[in-house]
A and B are shown apart, each in its own frame.
Chain A
């Protein structure tokens, strides 16, 4: 019997990543035409075609049984295959290598594979977001094919994904946690008065531009306001957390207005570009059919994403700059409040109680887990991942509590659209004390959450 504490001789890694569209193959013998993108590029054509053919076969085969959900994970002894149908007839798939250990048994070296060390739910979230980030910058693959032709589309995909895989995907796979998998939104709660002030400054900004559609308003890495629909909010927010925030937080915050753009083909450390001139980037939102122009404004710890219908107004640089500079006064006014907020000491949360909360209804997500500092123990993380996956099938509500010998309790709870995972690491504490502590924690963190029994 082995446990995850033992050294793993090979960890999980990306074997391949490919995009295909079965409709592109007209004749037998030209199957390779289905393939729009294939990583690694040095895999020979035949092998690519075979792999893609196998995926198609699997999907067709599962369709025989009329399951409610499409087949998305395939467990092989040595690899894991994950699918995601991104658009009609277009599929993205990736294969991961299952962690393995070489050990001696009866004088023979055998390789043991640890299937359960890859969590399907986490990896599917990585696969899905990899497409969403692409579509945010380029729109749908189908429209790329339609507008530019298949060959040009292949070039665009290659240009994008080669960099994406090299700079982002590998780390995303290794660093995936329950928290990262939700792609939820963390909200910054402000007083009513401040909230109204923010609303009014946003309205005034919107009135200055005829083509300004919606805005998102963030303080540090938390959202205060978004006029976009939930899905787009979530996407832009998570894109911000991944591409803007890591560098933004290390930049000195100045009292001048700056404009941010992200070069996603650059390495993460060089991705963020800061300018004092108005800069905008093309982004695809909503049904992904039309590009919008996004201006990302940064001032102090505020970031405002302005979504423009087109760049006509923006082309008048001087005027735009002037209009946006007007914001400065409004923002200056609310800065003290936020500084006050960040100075304020929150009642220290109990370090022995960790929780993760996600509400699917409004994408609210909060967490007190610190995955970097918490090499708690791989087994506990693995248990939490498994339970988080199980929660999907608790309908409409359910609650599971598990315990290992000498380890904390882990509780996973679902109440309709809300999910809550709690880990309580307390030993030798009497029951009264634990329950008191939890009573303290809940009003500060979950006072506004309804969890039905």
Chain B
């Protein structure tokens, strides 16, 4: 009996691969589209790229540029300083001090317990061991711990001229990332692949330099190695850090470095894209115009030859999602996109195209002086989209919650995520029972991350991973043109798995034009 079960499984596993590859939709999907990619997830960041574009842009004589940039950077600093003074507590009297000491002791105890709880901790400290950020608790209580972390990292570098990557304690991991002038530490209780650990830490690193800019941070630390960078981290920046960590646990796009698009009929998406591109055409300082709806990409238009990296897009999405202030007014924010240029700074014009603040327009320029120009563009785009009823169409698409799983019609299918490797975009079905609670959602994605880690192990070059776990079965398939992750009930047979996978692929082929942004719009 037993051998029968196993043999059936093996047979099916072999069957699986041959059948998967002979699927009618397989051939179509592995061919990359001829269109130039919207995103480029292989793209290497180029330091100084923004300066280069700025110098070359014909719109402004380059001579006035530099002082202007400094001017704006100063103004950010001013902004932050105001924030900081607001949050600095008023000096307390002596008796209050004693009271606080008592509180501190209690707090310390509280923090020791907090560290022992089974949550995913993330710490940021400066190279000289000063606390910068902790995901849980108050970093002021963790001065000693952060000091230890700093010692562990720097000892490896100095004494062994090596790098401390991560350590294992059973299934738990503590990962370290040293990126001048910070050290990032992640503590996780699930058997996560080192690649995912590094990816999470890198997102956090990128998040912190996207608002503070690497060059500015480095400059400050060079002049003042003991500088407490927290003076520059307002509550808004902290919120961004918290949210980027949360988002990683809830969004597979960050793992697969691919953007998620709003499902929209191709002609409507085309009209939106063209409207935006035509409005902006001719403007050399503007690089990207992005429309987002609830964190999903509606349309992206860009200057020829410049690509946006999906991980940079997630920083923008995080910025938009985390900042309620954008909802009231048009905003003008400096933002660094590290995969584009870690040394430079974009200026983002962020505004909403509808009253209920569902549809967000993000315009990115290298010219800090162009607020008015971009604001005018926004007005024009807003008007045109409204007149053509396109804003309404976006909102309709948002309201229509697409499950996707019901269109596949397979009772054992629970969830799938499909990434088009050529487009660097992904689509996923809606999470249904039993993954509707946060706990289950996070657990499922941890499992998918485990399978993903196996699939993407750089030495193994695996093509298929099929995991039968306690509560579900997972199939991961890496083909030349796409990557597919499917979650089934634990009772699904391999026949069901292949059949269902076939349906998913043909569905995606059929609906490709509305699931993905196939055509890129240029200014």
**Interface residues in chain A, defined as those with a beta carbon under 8 Å from any beta carbon in chain B:** 1, 3-4, 50-51, 54, 57-58, 60-62, 64-79, 114-117, 120, 379, 382-383, 386, 390, 392-405, 409, 411, 413, 422, 424, 426, 431-432, 434-435, 438-439, 442-443, 446, 449-451, 453
Known: A69-B169, A74-B168, A120-B168. 16 other contacts (CB 8 A): A57-B148, A65-B172, A71-B167, A74-B167, A76-B165, A78-B163, A382-B459, A393-B171, A397-B470, A401-B466, A402-B454, A403-B17, A403-B462, A431-B14, A434-B10, A449-B2
A67 in contact with B170 (CB, 8 Å): yes
Name the contact of A76 in the complex, choosing from B116, B164, B187, B468 (C-beta under 8 A).
B164
B464 contacts which chain A residues (CB < 8 A)?
401-403
Q: How far is the CB of B148 from chain A (nearest CB, A)?
A: 5
The 4 closest A-B pairs by CB, nearest first: A69-B170, A442-B3, A66-B116, A77-B163
B194 contacts which chain A residues (CB < 8 A)?
75, 115
In Å, the complex CA distance between A78 and B157 comes to: 11
B156 contacts which chain A residues (CB < 8 A)?
76
Q: Which of A393, A435, A453 has the most CB of B within 10 A?
A: A435
Q: Is B152 an interface residue when CB atoms closer than 8 A count as contact?
A: yes
Name the contact of A65 in the complex, choosing from B4, B116, B152 (C-beta under 8 A).
B116
A392 contacts which chain B residues (CB < 8 A)?
171
Which residue on A lies nearest to B145, using beta carbons? A64
Name the contact of B13 in the complex, choosing from A393, A394, A401 (C-beta under 8 A).
A401
Name the contact of A73 in the complex, choosing from B145, B162, B168 (C-beta under 8 A).
B168
B165 contacts which chain A residues (CB < 8 A)?
75-77, 115
Given the known interface contacts A69-B172, A379-B461, A386-B460, the answer about A439 and B454 at a Cβ–Cβ threshold of 8 Å is no
A58 in contact with B163 (CB, 8 Å): no
A73 contacts which chain B residues (CB < 8 A)?
167-168
Which residue on A lies nearest to B117, using beta carbons? A66
B170 contacts which chain A residues (CB < 8 A)?
67-69, 72
Given the known interface contacts A65-B172, A75-B166, the answer about A439 and B4 at a Cβ–Cβ threshold of 8 Å is yes
In Å, the complex CA distance between A78 and B164 comes to: 9
A399 contacts which chain B residues (CB < 8 A)?
9, 467-468
Which residue on B lies nearest to A395, using beta carbons? B470
Which residue on A lies nearest to B161, using beta carbons? A78
In Å, the complex CA distance between A61 and B162 comes to: 19
A449 contacts which chain B residues (CB < 8 A)?
2
A390 contacts which chain B residues (CB < 8 A)?
191, 454
Q: Is B189 an interface residue when CB atoms closer than 8 A count as contact?
A: yes
In Å, the complex CA distance between A159 and B225 comes to: 50
B327 contacts which chain A residues (CB < 8 A)?
none
Given the known interface contacts A65-B187, A411-B13, the answer about A400 and B168 at a Cβ–Cβ threshold of 8 Å is no
In Å, the complex CA distance between A417 and B266 comes to: 54
A397 contacts which chain B residues (CB < 8 A)?
470
In Å, the complex CA distance between A450 and B160 comes to: 49
Q: How far is the CB of A167 from chain B (nearest CB, A)?
A: 28
A383 in contact with B460 (CB, 8 Å): yes
A61 in contact with B11 (CB, 8 Å): no
A402 in contact with B468 (CB, 8 Å): no
A120 contacts which chain B residues (CB < 8 A)?
168
A453 contacts which chain B residues (CB < 8 A)?
5
Given the known interface contacts A116-B459, A399-B467, the answer about A70 and B169 at a Cβ–Cβ threshold of 8 Å is yes
B463 in contact with A403 (CB, 8 Å): yes
Which residue on B lies nearest to A406, using beta carbons? B463
Given the known interface contacts A78-B160, A382-B459, A393-B171, the answer about A451 and B467 at a Cβ–Cβ threshold of 8 Å is no
Q: How far is the CB of A338 from chain B (nearest CB, A)?
A: 29
Residues of chain B from 455 to 490 with CB closer than 8 A to chain A in the complex: 457-470
In Å, the complex CA distance between A175 and B462 comes to: 25
A68 contacts which chain B residues (CB < 8 A)?
170, 172
B172 in contact with A67 (CB, 8 Å): yes
Q: Is B115 an interface residue when CB atoms closer than 8 A count as contact?
A: yes
In Å, the complex CA distance between A356 and B162 comes to: 36
A438 in contact with B10 (CB, 8 Å): yes
Name the contact of B155 in the complex, choosing from A4, A54, A117, A402 (C-beta under 8 A).
A54
B461 in contact with A404 (CB, 8 Å): yes
A57 in contact with B168 (CB, 8 Å): no
B17 contacts which chain A residues (CB < 8 A)?
403
Name the contact of B3 in the complex, choosing from A1, A115, A409, A438 (C-beta under 8 A).
A438
Q: Is B15 an interface residue when CB atoms closer than 8 A count as contact?
A: yes
A379 contacts which chain B residues (CB < 8 A)?
459-461
Given the known interface contacts A75-B167, A438-B3, the answer about A383 and B14 at a Cβ–Cβ threshold of 8 Å is no
A400 in contact with B467 (CB, 8 Å): yes
Q: How far is the CB of B196 from chain A (nearest CB, A)?
A: 14
B469 in contact with A394 (CB, 8 Å): yes
B11 contacts which chain A residues (CB < 8 A)?
431-432, 434-435, 438
B463 in contact with A405 (CB, 8 Å): yes
A409 in contact with B470 (CB, 8 Å): no
Q: How far is the CB of B118 from chain A (nearest CB, A)?
A: 8
Q: Is B174 an interface residue when CB atoms closer than 8 A count as contact?
A: yes
A65 in contact with B10 (CB, 8 Å): no
A76 in contact with B160 (CB, 8 Å): yes
A77 in contact with B162 (CB, 8 Å): yes
Report 9 cross-chain contacts, Cβ distance below 8 Å, ordered by A residue. A54-B159, A66-B116, A78-B163, A400-B465, A404-B460, A426-B14, A439-B3, A443-B3, A449-B2
Name the contact of B7 in the complex, choosing from A69, A405, A435 (C-beta under 8 A).
A435
Q: Is B92 an interface residue when CB atoms closer than 8 A count as contact?
A: no
Q: Which of B3, B121, B155, B163 has the most CB of A within 10 A?
A: B3
Given the known interface contacts A78-B162, A390-B191, the answer about A398 and B174 at a Cβ–Cβ threshold of 8 Å is no
Q: Is B102 an interface residue when CB atoms closer than 8 A count as contact?
A: no
B169 in contact with A72 (CB, 8 Å): yes
B149 contacts which chain A residues (CB < 8 A)?
61
A435 contacts which chain B residues (CB < 8 A)?
7-8, 10-11
Which residue on B lies nearest to A382, using beta carbons? B459
Q: Which of B148, B155, B160 has the most CB of A within 10 A?
A: B160
In Å, the complex CA distance between A380 and B226 comes to: 50
Q: How far is the CB of A308 from chain B (nearest CB, A)?
A: 39
B160 contacts which chain A residues (CB < 8 A)?
76, 78-79
Which residue on B lies nearest to A452, using beta carbons? B2
Produce 1/0 per residue, B261-276, CB < 8 A to A. 0000000000000000
A383 contacts which chain B residues (CB < 8 A)?
460, 462
B68 contacts which chain A residues (CB < 8 A)?
none
A451 in contact with B167 (CB, 8 Å): no
Q: How far is the CB of A440 from chain B (nearest CB, A)?
A: 9
A60 contacts which chain B residues (CB < 8 A)?
148
Q: How far is the CB of B109 from chain A (nearest CB, A)?
A: 13
A404 contacts which chain B residues (CB < 8 A)?
460-463
Which residue on B lies nearest to A78, using beta carbons? B162
Which residue on A lies nearest to B113, using beta carbons? A66
Name the contact of B6 in the complex, choosing from A50, A61, A393, A451 (C-beta under 8 A).
A451
Q: Which of B115, B148, B170, B187 has the most CB of A within 10 A?
A: B170
Name the contact of A431 in the complex, choosing from B15, B116, B168, B463 (C-beta under 8 A).
B15
